Amino acid sequence: MTAGELQKTENRVISGSVFHGRSAMGDIHGYLGRYDSQVSALEEGRQREFLGWLAPGAGKFSILPAFLSYFLPKKSFRFTTSLNGSGRAMVPIGAYERVCPLDIIPTYLLRALITGDLDMAEKLGCLELDEEDMGLFTFVCPSKIDWAPKLRRILDELEKEME
């Protein structure tokens, strides 16, 4: 499906959306999933940038005014699979509220997910969510946390508790 369609760089083909798809590479996993209706491709981001957080960041995407690109006129960015750093503690600086399309309080809900507080997560609306809803939060997360598995863990624990 992607033969001859991609640039001659190292790419990661994804079955499904960029936010919630799975890698579809190789002979064993290189297929479109049963319920997926889209194929995405991203350049593999293997190169590291030494002290990249010190640079003004004119070519880096940011939802917050952390890089110079936030203040420049809107332009398109070349997204890769690189995380641009390692994971860190949860930093609630308003990024989640800027992208949340749902009627929830995302920072408090995500804090309940990360601490494993079942009661608070349930009160804040985790039962109304699934893993796909966590895609935007993962994308804008300054802490580089993948929120989908954390939600799944809480939902599984709540299901066991209700049995």
Structure tokens, 21: 């798809």
The ranges of the chain with pLDDT < 70 are 1-5, 28-29, 52-53, 83-87
Q: What does the pLDDT read at residue 53?
A: 66
Rounded to an integer, what distance in angstroms lies between the CA atom of residue 112 and that of residue 58? 34
Which residue type sits at 13?
Answer: V
Q: What does the pLDDT read at residue 129?
A: 93
Whose CA is closest to 47, among 9, 77, 15, 75?
A: 9
Q: What does the pLDDT read at residue 149?
A: 92
Q: What does the pLDDT read at residue 32?
A: 73
Whether residue 76 contacts residue 69, with contact meaning beta carbons closer than 8 Å, is answered with no
Q: What does the pLDDT read at residue 158?
A: 95
What helix, strand, coil percent values describe the chain, rounded to 5? 35, 10, 55
Rounded to an integer, what distance in angstroms lies between the CA atom of residue 68 and that of residue 73? 10
Q: What does the pLDDT read at residue 126?
A: 94
pTM: 0.73
Q: What does the pLDDT read at residue 1?
A: 66
